[in-house]
């Protein structure tokens, strides 16, 4: 059984400045999120740094509006902090599995027998 992401690190939702206002405007919980990108970025960077100082692994997962909105529709979910967290955790796990597959040992190359 693989350890959960929480056991060794966190996945953090990350936004490009040009996407932030659009995603903020579509959030059902926007009253709980600062509307200013620079303030959000400063706060998010502080969270990342605090976790790094504690020795935790941090994976910043950029939320792309089109892909995120498609995911919301497919899963019949609303744009809230809870669903954004779920989305980035799913992406982080998928990335980790890809990396793990790339790093898994392969069978040794065939040897050439001496004749």
In sequence order, the β-bridge partners of residue 57 are: 9
Query: What pLDDT was estimated at residue 77?
Result: 97
66 Cβ partners below 8 Å, 6+ apart? none
Decide which of 18 and 102 is more confident. Answer: 18
Q: Supply angle C-alpha 47, 52, 53, rounded to 5.
A: 100
Whole-number pLDDT of residue 101: 61
CA distances (Å), 106 to each of 18, 60, 110, 112, in order? Answer: 42, 29, 12, 18
pLDDT tens string 43-90: 999 999 999 999 999 999 999 999 999 999 999 999 999 999 999 999
pTM: 0.74
The string of pLDDT tens digits covering residues 1-57 is 454 544 568 999 999 999 999 999 999 999 998 999 999 999 999 999 999 999 999
Q: Judge whether residue 114 has pLDDT over 70.
A: no
């Amino acid at each position: 059984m693989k350890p959960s992401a929480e056991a060794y690190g966190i996945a953090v939702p990350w936004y490009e400045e040009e996407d932030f206002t659009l995603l903020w405007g579509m959030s059902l919980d926007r009253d709980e999120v600062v509307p200013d990108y620079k303030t959000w970025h400063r706060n998010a960077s502080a969270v990342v740094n605090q976790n790094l100082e504690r020795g935790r692994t941090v994976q910043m997962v950029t939320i792309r509006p089109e892909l995120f909105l498609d995911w919301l529709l497919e899963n019949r979910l609303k744009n809230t902090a809870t669903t954004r967290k779920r989305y980035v955790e799913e992406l982080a796990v998928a990335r980790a599995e890809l990396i793990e597959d790339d790093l898994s040992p392969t069978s040794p190359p065939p040897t050439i027998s001496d004749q």
